[in-house]
Amino acid sequence: MKNLVMIVHAEIQQRLADELRTLPQVAGFTFMHVEGHGPQSRHDPSVSARDLVVGYTPHVRVYILLADEDAGAVLAALRASHCGVAGRGVYWLTSVVEHGRL
């Protein structure tokens, strides 16, 4: 199993959810609202006037458990999609040592 974690701008959450629901490799996913702190450029189209005033950018952390063989296809589909994730987020992919239900 692989755990795909992404952090994307909050404004694309609904479009990303719609895209993930179309991918047969994705059985489910979890969103968690987070704040992105750091230097903000006025030239970054994802940084709003509100973000500049409050000092952080609203983001969503996305967790997706995937079969090992599906991770590449899901990443490729997201890169090719028009949901707004391309160029507006980061991701990491880690191996899951153990998983189950409690």
Chain segment 49-64, per-residue pLDDT in tens: 666 666 777 899 999 9
Q: Select from 6, 17, 20 the least CA-distant residue to 90.
A: 6
Residues of the chain falling short of pLDDT 70: 38-54
The answer to whether residue 41 is domain-embedded is yes
Q: How many domains does the chain have?
A: 1
The answer to whether residue 64 is domain-embedded is yes
Query: Rounded CA gap, 65 and 1, in Å?
Result: 7
The pTM of the full predicted model, rounded to 2 decimals, is 0.83
Residues 6+ apart with CB under 8 A from 28: 64, 65
The answer to whether residue 75 is domain-embedded is yes
